[in-house]
Amino acid sequence: MASPTAPDWGKLTAGLYPHLSAAEQEALRKIWSGNYDKFAPLKAKITASLDPDFRVDPDPASEKGA
C-alpha cells in the first residue's frame, strides 16, 4: 500500500492546541513527527486482507509451562 503525504503536524498541533505557546506547540510537533518518520515506511507492508490486532490472541498450540 502506497503511503499518502505525511500529515501537516504543525497545522494539526496548532489546530488542536491553539492555547499553547509556539515553543510548546513545536515540542509536541517534534515528538509526533519524529515517531511518524520511523512508522510511516512500515505502512507499505499493509495488505488489504490484514485486520487490526487489538489484543494478543494466544496461540492454541502454546504451552503453559516448562
Question: Which stretches of the chain bind other proteins, using CB under 8 A?
Answer: 7, 9, 12-13, 16-17, 24, 27-28, 31-32, 35-36, 38-39, 42-43, 45-46, 50-56, 58-59, 62-66
Q: Measured between alpha carbons, how far is 8 from 61 in angstroms, rounded to an integer?
A: 45
Burial class (CB in 10 A: 0-12, 13-18, 19+), 18: exposed
Q: Measured between alpha carbons, how far is 59 from 33 in angstroms, rounded to an integer?
A: 35
In the bound state with other proteins, the residue whose beta carbon lies nearer, of 22 and 55, is: 55
Q: Minimum Å distance from CB 54 to other proteins?
A: 6
Q: Minimum Å distance from CB 22 to other proteins?
A: 14
